[in-house]
A and B are shown apart, each in its own frame.
Chain A
Amino acid sequence: MLIVGKACLILALGTCLYGIAASLYGARSSRREWVASGRRAVYALAGTAGLAFVILQAAFLRSDFSFALVASHSSTTTPAFYRATAVWSSQEGSLLLWLLLLSLWSSLILFLTRRRLREIAPYATAVLLGFGAFFVSLLVFLETPFAQALPAPAEGVGLNPLLRHPSMMIHPPMLYSGYTLFAVPFAFAVGALVTRRLDADWIRSTRPFTLAAWFFLGVGVILGARWSYSELGWGGYWAWDPVENASLMPWLTGTAFLHSVMIQERRGMLKVWNVSLVLATGVLAILGTFLVRSGILDSIHAFGASTLGVPFLVLIVAMIAGSIALVASRAAELRSEHRLDSLLSREAVFLLNNLVLVGLCFVIFWGTFFPLISEAVTGQEASVGPPWFDQYTVPLALALVLLSGIGPVIAWRRATAANLRRNLLKPAAAGVLVLVVLAALGLGSEPGALLMFGLAAFVLAALGQELWRGVRARRAMSGGGVPSALVALVRRNRRRYGGYLVHAGVAVLFVGVAASSSFQDEREVLLSPGESARVGAYDITYVRPTADLRAASNGRLERIDFGAVLDVRRDGEPATTMRTVKSYFPSAAPLAGPVSRFFDGEATSEVGLQAGWRRDVWTAIAPDTAALLPRVREGDRVFGEADLAPAARDALLGQALAGLVRSYASDPPPATFRLIVSPMVTWIWIGALIAFAGGLIALWPAPRGTPSRVSATYAARVGRDVRTPAQV
């Protein structure tokens, strides 16, 4: 099967090259059969990539250790779910997944648009197949997933315990879907530039994929933050790490594009800006993929394989150079048709919002690449930390939230100033009220957070007012109760109200972020059983230790768990219990002692988390294993000297470890606890969910309308067409 896998990849490469040639030939000679053939090459790519992926997946599930990749990333003791997802825990497997997702999404989109965008589609196909060819070449020539392990080992190394978390396994496919989906608007933008057709049709067809890409990438980013918070022994959800930043940047420019494209749709303006945003988003998506793998920046995520650095760099430079050349040479077609009617319009607010988003992206870009920039400028590598990022992103985030409240309340084209003032009054009052109340309650010590709370209140009030007025208008037009009017209103104006919901979600998310970062109480304490510590308004007591041996699914010993049971008490509230554990996995090193290997391998924390509506209590334990060292060394010595049959040896080892574990439980040394009380963290996840629900509503396709009848009077036809349900 290894041979079949390798062959699939080689066939995939051939298919890509053929498809590029066929599409370009078909486009130049206007022959639709060659264009169709090129499109089918994308389907064929999806098929071969899928087959290669299935072969690899099957090998992982079967624990076929003749596959070198399976031997180095999985083991018989790994649970089935994690064996399946271990495929993309490796460099090679993740590249194959990227290729698969690229080909699947490309196939879907080219299939859905096969009767449209006929001038642009061939070039877009060629670009997408170009990406495909790049990734297949990496897989064929540099990082093959189908290397053979000679001889095939009896047991694999196993999956890194840090990756054993459901959201960690969904995070890469979501993220890669986001990245690969952003390749599609990039490809269609290139096609549009080549054919000089950057018009309403291009917008209409590109927007849904950009929205889908925005959705998936956003989900990927949030899942990563959630994993960091609830799985790592650190207690934070965002560290301004280069790889985190790399996934956020294309999302920011994508968000900017989704807004500014509406301006182009209405006024024929900002064509250069929009096409540049789409191209930049594609470049940033590839850059994000590159950063994780190249090891050029010190990051907690870097996979460290630097052989891929140069090819990716070449691709990125080619993309940037090509984009600039294309935009420059199409300057005539990219001239604006109109100007802004008025600064007091939704278009102007969108323009400002774009500047803020691109500004945010620039700040993050600068900070992320600063080590390389400073080395180039001063010869000395230097880096900036989270405080520097916060200094700039916080004011920009505040501006963004403010704009997201004004946007929904202002009219398109030219708003009536008096009406705008009147409409902003109540929401502004709500914002100021919240500010004053919270300041009175003593939260004024954190002005940034306070301002964010006030702005969020403003936004939510503005959106509520919009919704209420819309429902009222709908009922005035066609009667009905409030719920049915609401449903009808949203159904007929999906983009608008979906967008409003996204803004509401983002406001809630920022409230959570502001509260949890500004009003957090954190302590690291050394506690013995019975002792307690005070964190924020909580008294946390270390009640008793826990110590267990855990077996894997096949009965073999998988890990040792040392943990604690904690009592959490707050004035006036009933006491609750929290548990936290640190798991010690044995090292696979051949020279490790039979007992001490458990403390030489990987360790993971199982965080104790009590999530609540108002605050989270978070804890992680670092047991003092040094105190056990004498007994561990004794165990190593005893086993080294004993001469036993394997079965007896295993049994004795089990008993010895059980004894070790019991001794920890009965006479525990003091353990270090990291205790954090964070307000409103849950609202971050809730805000994200609300935003994604809004995205889904905006994405949802409109129902097909009934055809309008022929009418001689254009005006009458416009009147009639505007009423039909399809015009959503």
Chain B
Amino acid sequence: MDPSRKRKVRFVVALGVAVLLAGALVYTSFSASSEARTPSQLLTAAAPGEVYRLTGKVEPGYTRRGTTTYFRVRDRAGQGSVPVTYEGTLPDPFREGREVIVSVRRRGDAFVGERGSLITKCPSKFTEQKT
């Protein structure tokens, strides 16, 4: 095989590998991703066992029992709210009225938060913090 043909073959092979890897990447990202949901959206349609990324405000009045926190997340601008059970320490900025993002899974009527997925957004220009 003459050199330029060899080079073309190499190039095509490399390109093919790249395309395959990119394809795998794209495919797994769509299948492994968790959809963003507001509390009202979760109330209307939440398949059990699916992980969703819940965003909303923490309602006043949450309780802690041992290492578990029970709090409600409300729509940023609305009435829907869902109960969340979260195991583990809360991030330092966690407060009533603050916006949070947490990955949750439905279990019956409540939603269980995935460990380490709770992110609290600070209300203004300050940096935020994750558990």
Contacts and interface: CB of A to CB of B under 8 A. Distances in A.
Interface of A: 89-91, 160, 162-163, 232-234, 239, 241, 298-305, 339, 355, 359, 362-363, 366-367, 370-371, 374, 378, 380-385, 387-388, 391-392, 524-526, 582, 600, 602-605, 620, 622, 624, 626, 672, 674
A473 to B, nearest CB: 34
Contacts of B88: 524, 674
A234 B130 contact: yes
A371 B101 CA distance: 14
A622 B89 contact: yes
Contacts of A525: 67
Contact of B89 (A160, A233, A355): A233
Contacts of A392: 25
Nearest to B6: A343
Nearest to A600: B95
B67 A672 contact: yes
B126 A381 contact: no
A525 B87 CA distance: 11
Given A383-B53, A384-B32, A305 B125 contact: yes
A366 B127 contact: no
A290 B89 CA distance: 31
A94 to B, nearest CB: 9
Contacts of A359: 18, 21
A91 B127 CA distance: 11
B42 interface: no
A366 B26 contact: yes
A388 B91 contact: no
B76 to A, nearest CB: 12
21 contacts: A162-B127, A163-B127, A233-B129, A234-B91, A234-B131, A299-B128, A300-B121, A304-B124, A304-B125, A339-B7, A359-B18, A366-B26, A370-B29, A382-B35, A384-B33, A387-B32, A524-B88, A526-B67, A582-B92, A604-B92, A622-B90
Given A382-B30, A385-B34, 16 more contacts: A89-B125, A162-B126, A232-B130, A233-B89, A233-B91, A233-B129, A298-B55, A300-B121, A366-B26, A381-B35, A381-B36, A383-B36, A383-B53, A384-B34, A385-B32, A526-B67
B34 to A, nearest CB: 6
Most buried by A among B33, B64, B87, B93: B33
A626 B62 CA distance: 10
Nearest to B30: A374
Interface string B63-91: 11011000000000000000000011111
Most buried by A among B22, B92, B101: B92
B28 interface: yes
A90 B91 contact: no
A619 to B, nearest CB: 11
Given A366-B29, A370-B33, A160 B127 contact: yes
Interface string B94-114: 010000010100000000000
A525 B88 CA distance: 9
A363 B25 contact: yes
B119 interface: yes
Contact of A303 (B66, B91, B92, B125): B125
Nearest to A373: B29
A239 to B, nearest CB: 6
Contacts of B130: 232, 234, 239, 241, 300
A380 B124 contact: no
A602 B14 CA distance: 53
Contacts of A241: 130
A91 B55 CA distance: 24
Nearest to B93: A602
Contacts of B127: 160, 162-163, 300-301
Given A388-B32, A525-B67, A603-B92, A160 B122 contact: yes
B51 to A, nearest CB: 9
Interface in B29-66: 29-30, 32-36, 53, 55, 63-64, 66
A138 to B, nearest CB: 15
Contacts of B30: 374, 378, 382
A300 B25 contact: no
Contacts of A385: 32, 34, 103, 117
A301 B101 CA distance: 13
B99 to A, nearest CB: 9
Contacts of B26: 366
Contact of B29 (A160, A300, A367): A367
B34 A300 contact: no
A367 B28 CA distance: 11
B64 A524 contact: no
Contacts of A524: 67, 87-89
